[in-house]
Amino acid sequence: MSKWLEGRVIDNRHWTEALFSLRVEAPRLPFEAGQFVKLALDVEGERVARPFSFVNAPEDPVLEFYGVIVPEGPLSPRLARLAAGGTLYLSPNPSGFLVLSEVPDAETLWLLATGTGLAPFLSILRTETPWRRFRSVVLVHAARFARELVYRDAIEALSRAHGARFRYLTFVSREQAAGSLAGRIPAAIGDGRLEQAAAARLAPETSQVMLCGNPDMLKDAAAALAARGMKKHRRRSPGQITVESFW
């Protein structure tokens, strides 16, 4: 018997020529918000699988995934071409450590994402846990272009639900964009622009930071946070930084 579960695409929303969100009907998959599952398709007789973070909250019966087309990649362009009624496969075992059960309590939870690294944070923010455990939550999304700042409706709904306890900040790196910070997250940690925009202190005594997306951003941001006395959180050696690299 195959270990793969079969999923049926309900819809495939294209935000830009490269960004898409798949909504999928599949057998129930228990997971913690922030985790991922492998999605797979059969390509020239071989099953090609890649990890994708859940965008939906765990109790939502419809699964959602947010992806970017890597033009030369074997899987992402094919996932992007799936239409309603199409079939994909899911591994039966969600996993991953970018979850609040691995993050200590603090005053402020900072969620810093590049590109599709936004996905697991949306899942986390759609649960009760961050709002029960942290006084305020700052979501930061960095993209190359303003049109790539997706899920605005979902984020506005979070703002309405949580008011001043929730702050949403954006970075746009490759054009000027009103309302967004320019450049990259690590530089803005270093020069204080991120704290200023969030009106919150980014310090070891007050903050837990979760990072997701581009591995170079994770490295550079961890270095900028280390300069402020913050370090990776480990069960045996508590710190303030929890990361997930997408490649």
Ligand X SMILES: NC(=O)c1ccc[n+]([C@@H]2O[C@H](COP(=O)([O-])OP(=O)(O)OC[C@H]3O[C@@H](n4cnc5c(N)ncnc54)[C@H](OP(=O)(O)O)[C@@H]3O)[C@@H](O)[C@H]2O)c1
Binding site for ligand FAD (CB under 6 A): 36, 50-53, 65-68, 70, 73-76, 96, 115-116, 119, 244, 246-247
All residues at 6 or more sequence positions from 200 whose CB lies less than 8 Å from its CB, including other chains: 108, 136, 138, 167, 206, 207
Instruction: Give the H/E segment covering residue 141.
Output: strand 136-143
Residue number, 104 or 215, with CB nearest to ligand FAD: 215
Choosing among ligand X, ligand FAD, none, which partner's interface includes residue 134 (Cβ < 5 to 8 Å by kind)? none
Angle at 92 between CA 86 and CA 97, to 5 degrees: 115
* Separation of alpha carbons 145 and 189, rounded Å: 20
Size of the site for ligand X (CB under 6 A): 23
The first and second tokens of residue 236, run together, are 């045996």
Residue number, 65 or 89, with CB nearest to ligand X: 65
Choosing among ligand FAD, ligand X, none, which partner's interface includes residue 246 (Cβ < 5 to 8 Å by kind)? ligand FAD
- Rounded to a whole number of angstroms, the minimum distance from the CB of residue 29 to ligand X is 25
* Separation of alpha carbons 75 and 48, rounded Å: 7
Q: Which CA distances in Å does 48 have to 51, 73, 75, 127, 236?
A: 11, 11, 7, 31, 36
Residue number, 142 or 225, with CB nearest to ligand X: 142
Using the structure block, give the residue that is written with the tokens 């639900």.
Answer: 161
Choosing among ligand FAD, ligand X, none, which partner's interface includes residue 119 (Cβ < 5 to 8 Å by kind)? ligand FAD
All residues at 6 or more sequence positions from 46 whose CB lies less than 8 Å from its CB, including other chains: none
Q: Does 120 bind ligand X (CB under 6 A)?
A: no
- Using CB under 6 A, pick the residue from 98, 217, 225, 230 that binds ligand X: 217
Pair 104, 97: CB distance under 8 Å? no
Choosing among ligand FAD, ligand X, none, which partner's interface includes residue 167 (Cβ < 5 to 8 Å by kind)? none
Amino acid present at 31:
F
Choosing among ligand FAD, ligand X, none, which partner's interface includes residue 247 (Cβ < 5 to 8 Å by kind)? ligand FAD
Residues 158-197: x/- map of binding to ligand X (CB under 6 A)? -------------x-xx---------xxx-----------
Using the structure block, give the residue that is written with the tokens 């979070």.
Answer: 158
All residues at 6 or more sequence positions from 4 whose CB lies less than 8 Å from its CB, including other chains: 40, 47, 89, 90, 91, 92
- Using CB under 6 A, pick the residue from 29, 107, 220, 231 that binds ligand X: 220
Residue number, 69 or 241, with CB nearest to ligand X: 69
* Separation of alpha carbons 161 and 92, rounded Å: 33
Residue number, 125 or 218, with CB nearest to ligand X: 218
Q: Does 243 bind ligand X (CB under 6 A)?
A: no
Interface with ligand X (CB under 6 A): 17-18, 68-71, 114-116, 142-144, 171, 173-174, 184-186, 213-214, 216-217, 220
